[in-house]
Amino acid sequence: MKNWCMRRGCIALSRAFRSTPRISLRIAQAAGACKPAMLVGAEVRYRDGLLRHREWIIERKAAAKAQIKQLKEETEGKARELQDKLARERIERLLGQAKALERTNQIRAYVGSVALRAAELSIAQADFEKWAMWARQEADRIAPVKNDTVTRATNSI
């Protein structure tokens, strides 16, 4: 058995081994000794393949978890952005309602102020009353309290 060696899965026999009379017996013995070595080599390669496959599965699982985490963070970020946008829009509507109420109060104060000086104006009382009624109706039209803007706003909260 000491006269053979295994190289790349084949048996190389020395000259001395080939020249002996019992060559077939020795070749059989060498082949029999080679089989366990070949099997062990095959088993090592098989297990290495299994280990590489397991490592690949672990890497894929980690990559999938990272992707899920990234998608979750993106979704949460978009949800926060949407909530912020909705909050800004509600504030803008509220400020618009406050401006409309302020304008309404300015119109009513103006009409009241002009009514106090109606005697100084050179227009007929009926024409002034007509104008005053129109101005108050316009004030009521833009007033958030009178045109149900506040009611709609409270229902949407």
Domain residue spans in the chain?
Answer: 4-155
Q: Cα–Cα distance between 101 and 56 in angstroms, integer?
A: 67
Q: What is the pLDDT of residue 14?
A: 46
- Residue 102 and residue 108: Cα distance in Å, rounded? 10
Residue 27 has pLDDT above 70, yes or no: no
User: How many CB atoms are located within 10 Å of the residue 125 CB?
Assistant: 10
Q: Is the pLDDT of residue 119 over 70?
A: yes
Residue 62 has pLDDT above 70, yes or no: yes
